Structure 1
Amino acid sequence: MIDMYAKCSNMDSAEKVFDEMPERNLVSWNAMIVGFSHNKIFDRAIDVFKEVLRDKSVSPDQVSFSSVLSACANVGSLDFGRQVHGVVVKHGLMHLAYVKNSLVDMYNKCGCFQDSIQLFGSIPDRDVVTWNVMAMGCVQNDRFEEACNYFWVMRREGISPDEASFSTALHASANLAALDQGTLIHDQIIKTGYMKNTCVGSSLITMYAKCGSLIDAHRVFEEIEDRNVVCWTAMIAACQQHGCGGSVIELFEEMLAEGIKPDYITFVCVLSACSHTGRVEEGFGYFESMGRVHGMKPGPEHYACMVDMLGRSGRLDEAKRFIESMPIRPDPSVWGALLGACRNYGYLDMGKEVAEKLFEMEPNNPGNYVLLSNIYTHYGKLEEAKEIRRLMGINGARKEPGCSWIDIKNTTHVFTVHDKSHSRTDEIYEMLSKMIELVKKKGYVAETQFAVNDVESYKEQSLWYHSEKLALAFGLLSLPAGAPIRIKKNLRTCGDCHTVMKLASEIFEREIVVRDINRFHRFVSGSCSCGDYW
């Protein structure tokens, strides 16, 4: 009965049954710990485990330990997790794979990556679950290369990967934008017969999309027979990231026609696509259908998309009224969308008001300071802009240095602004000079508002040393004629670089794909997939 109530998400009734039991054994206690943990009431799961330790008539087993370690992992309770580790040793249960895997997972999720590595290394008979937990820990700690390495070492040790192994390795490859790595994993998936697995198929779609190959992502999508909402959403998200708003809407309508119920993420992608393609009325229609048709409450991400949609179309006053009418408290993503619109349209007074709210909500986010500083700069208020930059330093908000990278023959080449560390620096800067000459013949005029240098005479020159332009020059030098050039950047690409990429794609007759922090830009024949609306 306890288990039934727990699985029906009614822990009040489960607890009532437990309290009325005249006698309890370990199974009863475990049912409560597992029930609270599965219902994400992790603090109560930990409390019940403590009661088990105080009850001398029972002794915790691997179910007790694994469940409480999972609860510790989910609330980040490292101190108690370490205590549980000690109790496990005391009870002589360290030899049980179930317990060891839970300990590795707990240390990973609590940010103690070195402890998890040490524990993993001490396990002699590692099974596929142990390897998966370690690889997932690498991904959770942004160690994507290590996650891929664990996958290949596991294969060399003769352990057959399962769907979790493949999905984790593909997720790591996607975050690295490592297309070669992803295609090698794809080969393994085909050889082991996992292509019919929808979870693996969805991960493949995401990997190809994040590595800049929308064609391959669509090919995988077409090969999946029994597509569920995760597969559809992965493909919809891929099109949205690549700026194909029309394809997003077509896929979404096709999914609905097949009777697939959209989920939370599906609507985030659809509303974002409407925002980036200026489909305001259509976006409002989909937003209203969430509750009216699908019985779903919009969350912060959906509201942020709506504010972004109104802001991008220049309807900033309407966007502000929309925020004020929201039934939930606006979070930083909502106000951040409005601040971005204020920067785009030069709304100084509203920008100051919104930025003040964001400074209170997230004082350590450098992006908010930069946006307000840019608005001041737009109006020529350079002293006020400098003051905001000083405030950013006082609050300890550091802007991440911009960098771009490009893969050539299995080697990643990283560039920063004004970079002169590369072995082919002279050739790169020579190619830049050639590019300047060619794009000016096409009518290029430097967009100096994107230069951070205060000295006007140096602004245009400094624009040409942005990291993505250096990566482009190196790609033109290193890749065969006609081969696509794929560049990754850790920040949003600036408007001047966007213009140069468009012109370069036409001049050099190349497909240029730039993945910045927000989306993909695919430049072909002088135009971009985003339609200059990003």
Structure 2
Amino acid sequence: MDGLKPDSLAFSSVLPACARMAAHKHGKEIHGYLLRNSTDLNLVVQNAVMDMYVKSGFIEYASRIFVRMKDKDLISWTVMILGYSLHGQGVCGVDLFCAMERKSTIQIDQVTYAAVLHACSTARMVEQGKFYFNCIKAPNVSNCALMVALLARAGLFEEARIFIAEQKIERHVEVLRALLDGCRNHQQLALGKQVIEQLCELEPLNAENYVLLSNWHANSARWDKVNKLRQTISDMGLKPKKAYSWVEFQNKVHAFATGDVSHPRSQKIYWELECLRKKMEDEKHQPNPDFSLHDVEEERECIQIGHSEMLAISFGLISTQPGATIRVIKNLRVCRSCHDCAKFISKIAGREIILKDINCFHHFKDGFCSCDDFW
């Protein structure tokens, strides 16, 4: 490769990989290389850099790049609208969409409408979301699922039910999962159970659905049902997805699994977790249970067994300087117990913890989360 100079295609290809692999420092180094070497920062590369920062948890960096861009295309606007929403700043995403409509003559497509619908859902701006949905000429299932997510997130379950029936999308997994998220956030256990059973019917070979149903029964202490479902998972030869979390430290990505003891610093990691558990007990902090978990083991108390994200956070606490931000990526949704624990830790440790799960970025600071406990 000596003598070869990477082009814009190479940069726009490698930057997303940095975001996916929790290697944000490498992404920042590539951006620095681009700036130092006066490489032609065309629109494709600028969009890729901005997208990398959004997906790496640096929404403020992405925003600065966006503001400084002389030219913007539809991708530029869409990346930032969705980026704001993913980081819990739905109102900013909607405001940016409005600014795009005022300042640009770009023809808006379904992808950009999907981004602003996502932002409306995050901000629970129901009427605004309905308006944008009606602007879409031929809404697809994904657009409809976002509308269901908006209604369910706002607690409008009857309206969501009517919408689903009118659109004839009752048997679409994407729609049911959007409805389930709302059930989870509003503790609609009966409806949640019904939705999970529908998912099991539509996807009989998806182990995650049986795990969800098992955890729902566990939340109701119906252990006979739990044991039966786990036996069903085993008999069908299904393998539920395992939870993993990653954190970058000193240019190396450290991976953790639930209950993992393979890390060289495991003893100190678990000792830190035990100290945190005792502090929670002293302050009578009790994490909430969660009926919509994804890992088979995740109905146990997370601070005791060491869920993957808790191990990653603990590693960050013992490895970085006091006050440093801890950045974690998880391949599944963070459970409510770990979410509560992370809020508590951010307060007592005086740290900002940025946790990316499959749904959004959680910015934990001073005992609060940017998602407003809806994710």
Structure-1-length-normalised TM-score: 0.64
2:47 aligns with 202
The answer to whether the 8 A contact 2:327-2:354 is kept is yes
The answer to whether the 8 A contact 1:453-1:462 is kept is no
The answer to whether structure 1 residue 386 and structure 2 residue 227 are counterparts is yes
Alignment of 1:373-412 (within 5 A): 373-412=214-253
Counterpart of 2:162 (choices 311, 315, 321) is: 321
Q: Percent identity?
A: 37
In 1, distance between residues paired with 2:350 and 2:185?
31
In the TM superposition, what whole-angstrom CA distance separates every residue of 1:406-430 from its partner, at most 9, and x where no partner exists?
1110122211222222222222222
The answer to whether structure 1 residue 239 and structure 2 residue 84 are counterparts is yes
In the TM superposition, what whole-angstrom CA distance separates every residue of 1:453-481 from its partner, at most 9, and x where no partner exists?
99x9xx44765511211111111111012
1:482 aligns with 323
Counterpart of 1:266 (choices 105, 109, 112) is: 112
In 1, distance between residues paired with 2:197 and 2:301?
32
Alpha-carbon distance change, 531 to 352 in structure 1, aligned in 2, over 3 angstroms: closer
**Amino acid corresponding to residue 505 of structure 1 in structure 2:** S
In the alignment, structure 2 segments of 5+ residues that lack a partner are: none
The answer to whether structure 1 residue 166 and structure 2 residue 7 are counterparts is no
The answer to whether the 8 A contact 1:522-1:529 is kept is yes
1:522 Cα deviation from its structure 2 partner: 0.6
1:336 aligns with 177
In 1, distance between residues paired with 2:364 and 2:120?
21
Counterpart of 1:228 (choices 73, 79, 94) is: 73
The answer to whether structure 1 residue 281 and structure 2 residue 127 are counterparts is yes
Which of 1 and 2 has greater Rg?
A: 1
2:276 aligns with 435
The answer to whether structure 1 residue 185 and structure 2 residue 26 are counterparts is no
Q: SS of the counterpart of 1:376?
A: helix
Counterpart of 2:343 (choices 494, 502, 506) is: 502
Alpha-carbon distance change, 437 to 356 in structure 1, aligned in 2, over 3 angstroms: closer
Q: SS of the counterpart of 1:412?
A: strand
The answer to whether the 8 A contact 1:364-1:396 is kept is no
Alpha-carbon distance change, 353 to 527 in structure 1, aligned in 2, over 3 angstroms: closer
**Amino acid corresponding to residue 322 of structure 2 in structure 1:** A
In the TM superposition, what whole-angstrom CA distance separates every residue of 1:152-187 from its partner, at most 9, and x where no partner exists?
xxxx33223222111101121121121111112212
Alpha-carbon distance change, 349 to 436 in structure 1, aligned in 2, over 3 angstroms: closer
Alpha-carbon distance change, 267 to 480 in structure 1, aligned in 2, over 3 angstroms: same
The answer to whether the 8 A contact 1:271-1:305 is kept is yes
In the TM superposition, what whole-angstrom CA distance separates every residue of 1:111-139 from its partner, at most 9, and x where no partner exists?
xxxxxxxxxxxxxxxxxxxxxxxxxxxxx
In the TM superposition, what whole-angstrom CA distance separates every residue of 1:20-41 from its partner, at most 9, and x where no partner exists?
xxxxxxxxxxxxxxxxxxxxxx
The answer to whether the 8 A contact 2:301-2:337 is kept is no
Counterpart of 2:150 (choices 291, 295, 309) is: 309
2:141 aligns with 300
In the TM superposition, what whole-angstrom CA distance separates every residue of 1:27-79 from its partner, at most 9, and x where no partner exists?
xxxxxxxxxxxxxxxxxxxxxxxxxxxxxxxxxxxxxxxxxxxxxxxxxxxxx
In the alignment, structure 1 segments of 5+ residues that lack a partner are: 1-155, 291-295
The answer to whether the 8 A contact 2:22-2:248 is kept is no
The answer to whether the 8 A contact 1:323-1:330 is kept is no
1:488 Cα deviation from its structure 2 partner: 1.2
1:213 aligns with 58
The answer to whether the 8 A contact 1:510-1:524 is kept is yes
In 2, distance between residues paired with 1:481 and 1:402?
28
Alpha-carbon distance change, 447 to 358 in structure 1, aligned in 2, over 3 angstroms: closer
Q: SS of the counterpart of 2:167?
A: coil
In 2, distance between residues paired with 1:270 and 1:252?
7
In 1, distance between residues paired with 2:326 and 2:254?
13
The answer to whether structure 1 residue 422 and structure 2 residue 269 are counterparts is no
Q: Which has the higher contact order (CA 8 A, sep 6+)?
A: 2
The answer to whether structure 1 residue 368 and structure 2 residue 240 are counterparts is no
In 2, distance between residues paired with 1:448 and 1:269?
31
Q: SS of the counterpart of 1:325?
A: helix
Alpha-carbon distance change, 389 to 268 in structure 1, aligned in 2, over 3 angstroms: farther
In 2, distance between residues paired with 1:265 and 1:423?
44
In 1, distance between residues paired with 2:182 and 2:237?
25
Structure-2-length-normalised TM-score: 0.90
Number of aligned residues: 371
- For the aligned residue pairs, the C-alpha RMSD in angstroms reads 2.5
Alignment of 1:440-519 (within 5 A): 440-449=281-290, 459-460=300-301, 463=304, 465-519=306-360
In 2, distance between residues paired with 1:483 and 1:527?
17
Alpha-carbon distance change, 465 to 353 in structure 1, aligned in 2, over 3 angstroms: closer
Alpha-carbon distance change, 376 to 222 in structure 1, aligned in 2, over 3 angstroms: same
In 1, distance between residues paired with 2:238 and 2:221?
24
In 2, distance between residues paired with 1:495 and 1:265?
30
1:57 aligns with none
1:238 Cα deviation from its structure 2 partner: 1.4
In 1, distance between residues paired with 2:145 and 2:343?
29
In 2, distance between residues paired with 1:250 and 1:461?
38
Alpha-carbon distance change, 427 to 228 in structure 1, aligned in 2, over 3 angstroms: same
Alpha-carbon distance change, 362 to 524 in structure 1, aligned in 2, over 3 angstroms: same
In the TM superposition, what whole-angstrom CA distance separates every residue of 1:498-524 from its partner, at most 9, and x where no partner exists?
111112112111111111121110111
In 2, distance between residues paired with 1:438 and 1:210?
33
Alpha-carbon distance change, 287 to 330 in structure 1, aligned in 2, over 3 angstroms: farther
Write 1 or 2 for the structure with the bigger share of helix.
Answer: 1
**Amino acid corresponding to residue 223 of structure 1 in structure 2:** R
In 1, distance between residues paired with 2:180 and 2:94?
27
